[in-house]
Amino acid sequence: MTTVSLVRANSYDREALQTALVEVLAPLGGIESVVKPGDRVLLKPNLLTGSRPKNECVTRPELVVEVARLVKQAGGVPFLGDSPAFGTAEGVAQSNGYLPFLQEVDLPVVEFRGKRYPTEGDRFGHLLLSKEAMDADVVINLPKIKSHQQLTMTLGVKNLFGCVPGKMKAWWHMQAGRSAQEFGAMLVETARTLAPNLTIVDGIIAHEGNGPTNGTTRFLGILGASEDVFALDLSLLEVLGVDPMKVPTHEAALAAGCYAEEAVEFPLCHPQELAIADWQLPDRMQPIDFGMPRVIKSTFKHLYIRLIKEPISAYQAQKAS
């Protein structure tokens, strides 16, 4: 039986959030069902951008730090990682107020490096994915509920795109991004290859309208969790009243046979209990391709830092010592 756990959660207050997390994870066996002592655990939030911290475009740091506490209590060794298309994970985290929370629980931020991995399906063959994510003992996916101008919605499956190294994300947006269906298929293969052990969705305050960055905040008061990212995404679409066939990742997951044949169990709240009737989708759909000049400029800046500036700085430091 595939289990999707949904609860009402009304606040990012730390004590209330900890209680809600324990509640939503209980039907899955608690955090101990996926984290064993000594496991290296990647916490993968949505660190989309540092430019709009008030738009609720990223997973809230309160949720990340409380999940980190649970992981540590289970004996795991958590670390935070993501790959923003522009900037670094630490820089975007800092812009969104993460650093005091990370310091509080001694949660390191890891920048992702890429390596090619074979995919389960034959459509892409291989994908460049984060070595740090693939090498982790446990991957906990921490998406934000958002509307999306290219993919209609971004939930658990789309959030795993952050495990594609930064510059490659921009190139994928320019290539597959011109076709939402092709992009959706690539995202599904990414999710299947990464196979997150647990997804916990931040739906307390969501982002609707012209997301992923230009929409508006929307209080939903929801936390969701499942070991099956595809089942959780589909359940959330039911909560929001969004037609799944308008969501390219759902279409691709359906075609790839990603949904469990057995029934989905809702031990706490059923999607119908949490359903809303007026979730706002984008008023127009459009490709998100970042723009070729911006990608080239960012790529050369990245290469300059890695190949020229860092070696010179290291040489100067060694010479001074």
The per-residue pLDDT for range 182-238, each reduced to its tens digit, is 889 999 999 999 999 999 999 999 999 999 989 999 999 999 999 999 999 999 999
pLDDT at residue 291, as a whole number: 52
For residue 320, name the pLDDT band (cuts at 50, 70, 90): low
> CA 242 to CA 157: how far, in whole Å?
16
Decide: helix, strand or coil at residue 187: helix
Q: Is residue 119 scored above 70 in pLDDT?
A: yes
For residues 174 and 112, is the Cβ–Cβ distance under 8 A?
no
Residue with tokens 């790959």: 83
Question: Hey, is 153 helix, strand or coil?
Answer: strand
At 290 the three-state DSSP class reads coil
Over 90: is that where the pLDDT of 297 sits?
Answer: no
Entry pTM? 0.89
Start-to-end Cα distance in the chain:
61
Residue 305 in this model has a pLDDT that exceeds 80: no
pLDDT band at 1 (very low <50, low <70, confident <90, very high): confident
Q: Of 82, 76, 73, give the one whose Cα is nearest residue 111.
A: 82
pLDDT for the residue 176? 59
Structure confidence at residue 285 (pLDDT): 83
Confidence category of residue 52, pLDDT binned at 50, 70, 90 = low
Q: Cβ distance 249 to 157 under 8 Å?
A: yes
Percent with pLDDT over 90 in the chain: 72
Tokens found for residue 321: 């010592």
- Least confident stretch, 24-28, 57-61, 227-231, 291-295: 291-295
User: Averaged over 143-172, what is the pLDDT?
Assistant: 89
